Each structure stands twice: as structure tokens, then as C-alpha cells.
Amino acid sequence: MSESLFSVETTFFADVILPVPIPRMFTYRVPRNFVDEIKIGARVIVQFGKNRVVTAVVGRIHQTPPEKYQAKYILELLDNEPLITQQQLWLFDWIADYYMCCVGEVMNVAVPSGLKVTSQSRIQINPDFDHAELLDEQEIGFLDILKNHASLTYDDAIKFVGETNINAMIKSLIGKHAIIMYEEVKEKYKPKIAKKVRLKRVYEGTEEVANLIDSLAKSAKQQMVVLEYLRQIPMHQLSERNQLGVDKALFTKGETSDSALNTLIERGVLEQFEVIVSRFSDDLPPEPVKIELTEAQQQASDEILTHFGEKDVVLLHGITGSGKTEIYIDLIQKVLEGGSQVLFLLPEIALTTQIVVRMKRVFGDKMGVYHSKFSDNERVEVWRGVLEGRYQFVVGVRSAVFLPMDNLGLVIIDEEHEGSYKQYDPAPRYHARDVGIMLGLKQGAKILLGSATPSLESYYQASTGKYGLVSLNQRYGNAQLPDIHLIDLKAERKSKTMKNDFSGTLCQHIEHNLENGEQTIIFQNRRGYSPYLNCQECNWIGECEQCAVSLTYHLDSKELRCHYCGHKEEIPRACPACGSGKIKTVGFGTEKLEDDLRIMYPTARVQRMDLDTTRTKNAYQTILGEFEQGNTDILVGTQMISKGLDFDRVSLVGIFDADRMIHFPDFRAAERAFQMLTQVSGRAGRREKKGLVLIQTNNTNQSLLHKVVSNDYMGYYNEEIKEREGYFYPPFTRVISITVKHEEQDKAEKAAHWLADKLLEKLGKARVLGPEKGMVERVRNKFLFDILLKLEKDKLNIKAAKIFLQEQIDAVMTQREFRGVFVVVDVDAV
């Protein structure tokens, strides 16, 4: 800020974004020594409240002193260059506005926590203190300890004193001015350090090395280390490459010994040094791959480019296995060559699969990967990499929309229909597809949405001509679409051919597959063993204490679990209500199917993949790896298995509980069911061989199922879009879901009614649904009431409606009688 040179007397203020859910910025004073360096988007450290020190981001710099209060000084400036670009700040505001939350909340999820500083209280002796007579025995003892340390953390102090509660003593000491407490602030991010060794410079010549080896003749181990070193760095390149050194770890295993290496270091033959390395090892050297598109792919690609000539967004509707990835890669290459950045979004689960490996091979270290299972440090490296221009291209999950890209040429959102692009908890409840589109539009980039089963929203936009539409109806290579059959469970029950929950038809095909060494996928979108336990005598059902839902029986972990709050309890041996031992499981989840399969086919290798078996970082890959290698015959899984995996030997897919998906009480049930069934079916028979899909149902007459069977997306779409239009649901309206919570049912209900009445008054009956009891009445001991707003996009000023809604929510919360009521707003709820 060079103006300061001309206006030495001017005081500058910075409005900063704090990581708190308060809907405004806070004004701090810029100390004179930062005036020249401070920039919008830089991080600063400020004191917030009495004893809190937090990282904030500068949102505005100005010269207007606040009228009503004295601004505090910024304590520290962390960046000389903005860490958050202008583009991002704009996006943060847009998200806060659109999704009705605070900018601070957006910042909180956007910025990796590794870029926030942590503060820790430290205790230090007051050097000016000379009133020892004021202290009691314990305090004198503590002060003695403190004399021997520059400072202590709270935890250290507890250890030294040997008591768990030292609050009182600390307070007393502060009161007597014997000690000082202060906040120590430090960056969380730690670069990864590699320990390396290299030959001292004097040995870099050929002759010198030869002499060195000779001189080590008596100590075989040391000689071996040097010879190993020379194997890594050939003699003739020694002088150029020696300075780069070799990983020290290389010598600690195998033939060479650590101690011999250390001796050589001590003797001054080798020297040890440290370098900062990337956490992303480039074990896959980029090989410039020329992507060969098939005729169909080439045509689709051309069409996409033509559409981009006049439209910003294009929807690529490509059936499963049509080879969308190649089209993406080709397009990405073109955009990168043009010097622009590319952002590629994928749902979480798809990111763990082959597609990333494939892209990494093509793009090498130009490509960054942003994943939620990455550690903080790893995320910081990707963030910095983007900022510094090392990554022109990022493949990532929904939160990758927050990366500091400001020169986007293309945003690709693959599997755009995926519900997991929507974040629910915590706020901001954003949809990464929509944020991605906004982000792209703002930067003048083109946006490509891809899916085999586009969301109604996107397809509607395409059908009205707002988005360009490109269809790929052919499977890649010789692959054929699978045959899909419905299995009539009613008929099978009548003819007594069911084995547990498996139809006889499905069993026959599984057996056939086992005999032929082909693989089977069993899909059941419900985890656990059974959704509840039921006493045969008194009809008792195991329920969660805190939520109004039954507890799911988990065989694996031998416990009952609540899928809403995570509560766990032991499995009762006898009925807790009547003492009867006749408790049975009702319904089935993935665990039961797995268990049944093991019993029915003892020699088959059965694996299960659901949330419970993929908790750890690599579990997902391990299970898939086993399956890919052919070490698994039958894979049982939830929707996790429906994404982006293609395996050659899967010739059969069995689908359970399709009916439950279709009849879920929610206006998106049909859409979700169609997408899920189609996606899962797509796992069958990828190359050469035609696959078979068997869908078990109690009602073979359901029109949606027939659309799945005949792979009739258009038929399904036309039917569903009529429904949506008739009942004023998206894409014809925007939906805002409002949940009112309170421990007391009565209070929650009254507050919900109060709010709904206000909304009704203003918006009219057709636009306000509810309040209704939550689908689950009580979660974590709070009663829930739902209100749904349906706001037309064309006839209504949605912005104004949102402002009105916020005002009314504030009004509810500030009312005495509704004290403690909590309201959650979810814009574009899915």
C-alpha cells in the first residue's frame, strides 16, 4: 500500500473475516509497520475476545475508524502475498449469501486447518515479582519449577504439580502478579524433511573415490556403504549429482548398515543434510500420452467444443462405460496447452479409483490431487502448489472448489448427479456442482458436467437450451450393455424357492458364476446386519435413547448402533422389556447378506464393502485391489460399489431392496433410485462379455423399474419431470429446507409453527410446506420439525425471500419463549 508514503498520519483499518459464525467482519487497526505489506487476502493474527487469539483473513482495508468502539491492533501479519485470492473472497461471499451462512463458516471449511495457526496458553514467571510472602506452600513449589523453565504449557504445569486441577492456583498466582500467561502462536503446517547423505566435496573426483575405496579395504561394512552410494550415483556423474545426495534411509536396510554409515559421517567421508520434500512422491513418471479417441468419442468431443462456442455449460450424457474419461483427458490437455487452469471434481469414492492413477500418468506433477483423506499438511501443499502455479490442474472432491485457482479455463464435474456433492454438516451447506459452475462462470471458464444418469436439474437446463447437450450412447470398445431382469419375489415366495433373502434365480446365477470363476456384485444400500431387533414375545424393538430410530444390529462389531447419532450399546441376551430370550433380527443389511453367502457357499471368497469396512485410509483400495486381482468371488456392498469401478470379470450384479429406494418418502426418491439402479447395473459386463443384472422386487409392475431394465433414461426423465412440474418441485422451484430443533417437543413445534405462519403470510400457501415432524422425530435428544419452502425461479425474487426468511429466523431465536431453539437452513437440500 504505497499511499502510506504520502499520508504518514493516516491510520489504516482492516475488516477481517474471523472463523466464527457471526455474520459480519470485524475491524482491527493496522500497525504502522504492516501498512506497506498488508494486502487483502493475507492472513493475520488478532486477539478476539478476552483470551482468544485467532487467524483471520483480511477482507477490506480502509481508513474509516469505527465509531462505537476502539479497534484492537492486528498482532501479526502472516503473509506478504494474499493466501486467499480476490476470486476466492468473492466466492466465499457468494456462498455465504446463497446458502445463508456466515463468511467465517465458509472460510472455515475452505481453508485447510494447516493454514490456521494454533494458539496455546503458556505460563511464565513474572520477572518483576518480589512478594514471595504472599504465596502459599504449593504456589512457592510451583514457582520454583517455573524458575527452571522459560515457560510451561498448561499440560506441563499439571504434570509438574501432580494435580489435575490447577485452575485455582493459576488464577491466584495471576492475581498476585507472580506469573504471566500468554498465547503462543505457531503455524501448524510442517514441511516434510528428508534426511540425505552425500560425499564430501573432496571425494568428487574419480581418482579420489578410487583412493577412498582402497583406503576402506579393512572395514568391509564401510566400503559397502560407499559402493552402494556409487551404485546410486554413478562415478562418471559424481561431480554433477553428488550434491543432490541419496536418501539416508536407503542405507538403513538391506546389506549396508546404519552404524557403518554413521561412522563414515563421523569420519568426514560422507556428510548428512536435510531437504524439504513434497509429500507427493512422483513415483509415476509422466509419460506424454497421446489419447486416441474412438470415432464416437471424437464426435462427442467435437460437439462439446462446438457448444462451448456459444454456451458456458455443457452436459455430457454418456452411458456407463462409454469412455467419458478419455474425452475429459483430451479436453484438459487442450485447455492446459492454452495456458489456463483446469479443475476436475469427482465424488469422494470415485477419487480412490483408477481414474486418478490414469490421469496422474498423463499429467504427472502438473496435476494436484485434493482429497478429504489427505492429512492437513498434504492439503496445505496442494493449496500452496496451486497458489505458486505448480499445479495447473487439480483433481479433487467437493472441497476442491475452494482452492485458489484464479485463471480457470475449464471446470469438469464428473458424476454431476451425485448427492455427495452436497455438504450438509457443518455449514456451509453448499453444492459443489453449483459452486463449481458459479466459480467457472465468474472466471470465464467453460463448464462440463458429466453423468450417465444426469440430475433432473441439469438435464432440464440442457433440454431448455440453457446448457449444451452431448450424448454418448455407445459403450467403449466391444462392450455391451448388460441384460437387466426383474425377479418377482412374490412369485418366488409362493413357490418357496427363496433362500433367506436370496431368490432362487439369483442363487442359480451366483452358483453358475462361482463354477466359472466369474465375479458377482451384490448391492444392498443398507449397512449393518439388520435394521432392528424384535422380541417375539412382547414385540419390543431396540431403539436409540437419544433418537427416535431403531438401533441397527451389527454382527461384525457385536453391538447395536444408532446410524443417526453414533450411539452404541451391547446386544441384549434377553429382551430388556420382558426377559424373553426370543429376540430375532428383522430385515437385512450388507452384513447379513455377507453372512448368508458365506453359509450358502462356504468355499466362495466373499468380501464386503461399506462404510464400516472402509473406515481406514487404505481399506477401500485393499478391498478393491483384492477384487480386481480376482481374489474375491462375491463383493457385497452399499452404494459405494456403484462408482467408477470397472472390472472385466463381473458378469453378474444382484440388487436387493430396490423397492425401499423407490418408495422412500422424499420427492427425490425416484430420481435417486433410477440413478443408483442404473449405476450399479453398469458394473456388470464391461468388456467382451455381456453382463447380467438381477433386480429383486415385490412389484414387477413399477414403471421406474422398467425404465431401468430398458435403459430408458429419456422415458424416466419425461415421466419424472412431469411430476416435478405438477407438484412444484425442482427444477421448477428452488427448495429450502428449514429444520427447527429443541429438546422439548412442544417448544420445537411451537417455534416451527410460528416461523411457518410468518412465512405463509408473506409467501402464500403453495410455497410453504409444513411444519411437519421430522422424518426422524428426535435426533440426539432434540425434536425436529421440518418446513419446506418451494420458491419458483422465475416469478419470485428468491434473494428477497431469503432475506425475509433470515429475518424471521432471527426473530424466532430472539424471542423469550423460544429460548434455546435452533434453526438449520438448507438451501437446495438434496
Partner DNA sequence: AGCACGCCGACT
Partner DNA sequence: GTCGGCGTGCTC
Which residues make up each annotated binding site for Zn(2+)?
535, 538, 544, 547, 562, 565, 575, 578
Indicate the helix (H) or strand (E) that contains 147: helix 137-147
Task: Tell me the C-alpha distance between 807 and 786, whole Å.
Answer: 18
By CB under 7 A, tell whether 263 contacts DNA.
no
By CB under 7 A, tell whether 72 contacts DNA.
yes
Which residue from 4, 11, 47, 257 is in contact with DNA, where contact means CB under 7 A?
Answer: 47
In whole angstroms, the minimum distance from the beta carbon of 66 to DNA comes to 6
In whole angstroms, the minimum distance from the beta carbon of 50 to DNA comes to 4
Q: What's the distance, CA 821 to chain centroid?
A: 29
Cα angle, residue 563 at apex, residues 559 and 565 outer, rounded to 5°: 100
Of 26-34, 35-43, 128-136, 409-417: span binding DNA (CB under 7 A):
26-34
Of 18-26, 217-225, 351-359, 725-733: span binding DNA (CB under 7 A):
18-26
The 142-171 site mask, x for binding DNA (CB under 7 A), equals -----------------------x-xx---
By CB under 7 A, tell whether 21 contacts DNA.
yes
Select 183 or 271, whichever has its Cβ closest to DNA: 183
Q: What's the distance, CA 254 to chain centroid?
A: 39
The 800-819 site mask, x for binding DNA (CB under 7 A), equals -------------------x
By CB under 7 A, tell whether 50 contacts DNA.
yes
- Are 158 and 142 within 8 A, CB to CB? no
Integer-rounded Cα radius of gyration of the chain: 32
Task: Tell me the C-alpha distance between 420 and 501, whole Å.
Answer: 29
In whole angstroms, the minimum distance from the beta carbon of 70 to DNA comes to 7
In whole angstroms, the minimum distance from the beta carbon of 164 to DNA comes to 10
By CB under 7 A, tell whether 459 contacts DNA.
no
Task: Tell me the C-alpha distance between 371 and 348, whole Å.
Answer: 7
By CB under 7 A, tell whether 67 contacts DNA.
no
In whole angstroms, the minimum distance from the beta carbon of 101 to DNA comes to 11
Select 167 or 629, whichever has its Cβ closest to DNA: 167
Task: Tell me the C-alpha distance between 487 and 659, whole Å.
Answer: 12
In whole angstroms, the minimum distance from the beta carbon of 427 to DNA comes to 9
Select 25 or 522, whichever has its Cβ closest to DNA: 25
Which residue from 3, 32, 63, 66 is in contact with DNA, where contact means CB under 7 A?
Answer: 66
Going from the C-alpha of 264 to that of each of 228, 256, 441, the distances in angstroms are 13, 12, 60
Cα angle, residue 308 at apex, residues 302 and 310 outer, rounded to 5°: 125
- Are 71 and 65 within 8 A, CB to CB? yes
Task: Tell me the C-alpha distance between 370 and 55, whole Å.
Answer: 23
Number of residues that bind DNA (CB under 7 A): 23
Select 15 or 720, whichever has its Cβ closest to DNA: 15
Nearest to 641 by CA among 473, 552, 483, 519: 519
By CB under 7 A, tell whether 51 contacts DNA.
yes
Select 52 or 190, whichever has its Cβ closest to DNA: 52
Of 47-55, 289-297, 413-421, 704-712: span binding DNA (CB under 7 A):
47-55
Beta bridge partners of 559: 554, 570
Pairing of strands 270-277, 26-29: unpaired
Select 161 or 230, whichever has its Cβ closest to DNA: 161
Annotated binding site: 535, 538, 544, 547, 562, 565, 575, 578
Task: Tell me the C-alpha distance between 217 and 235, whole Å.
Answer: 18
- Cis peptide before 428, with omega less than 30 degrees from 0? yes
In whole angstroms, the minimum distance from the beta carbon of 28 to DNA comes to 4
By CB under 7 A, tell whether 27 contacts DNA.
yes
Which residue from 6, 8, 9, 49 is in contact with DNA, where contact means CB under 7 A?
Answer: 49
In whole angstroms, the minimum distance from the beta carbon of 132 to DNA comes to 22
Q: Give all strands (DSSP E) within 456-526, no chain letters.
A: 468-472, 483-488, 519-523
Task: Tell me the C-alpha distance between 108 and 123, whole Å.
Answer: 29
- Are 534 and 561 within 8 A, CB to CB? no
Q: Give all strands (DSSP E) within 255-375, no chain letters.
A: 270-277, 313-318, 341-345, 367-370
By CB under 7 A, tell whether 558 contacts DNA.
no
Select 171 or 799, whichever has its Cβ closest to DNA: 171
- Are 430 and 276 within 8 A, CB to CB? no
By CB under 7 A, tell whether 52 contacts DNA.
yes
Of 45-53, 290-298, 488-496, 778-786: span binding DNA (CB under 7 A):
45-53
Task: Tell me the C-alpha distance between 709 and 604, whole Å.
Answer: 29
Which residue from 12, 26, 421, 620 is in contact with DNA, where contact means CB under 7 A?
Answer: 26
Pairing of strands 822-827, 559-561: unpaired
By CB under 7 A, tell whether 48 contacts DNA.
yes
By CB under 7 A, tell whether 69 contacts DNA.
yes
- Cis peptide before 66, with omega less than 30 degrees from 0? no
What is the signed CA dihedral for 775, 532, 673, 328, rounded to 10 degrees? Answer: 100
In whole angstroms, the minimum distance from the beta carbon of 603 to DNA comes to 53
Beta bridge partners of 43: 57
By CB under 7 A, tell whether 71 contacts DNA.
yes
In whole angstroms, the minimum distance from the beta carbon of 825 to DNA comes to 13
By CB under 7 A, tell whether 28 contacts DNA.
yes
Residue ranges that bind DNA, judged by CB under 7 A? 20-22, 26-29, 46-52, 66, 69, 71-72, 165, 167-168, 819-820
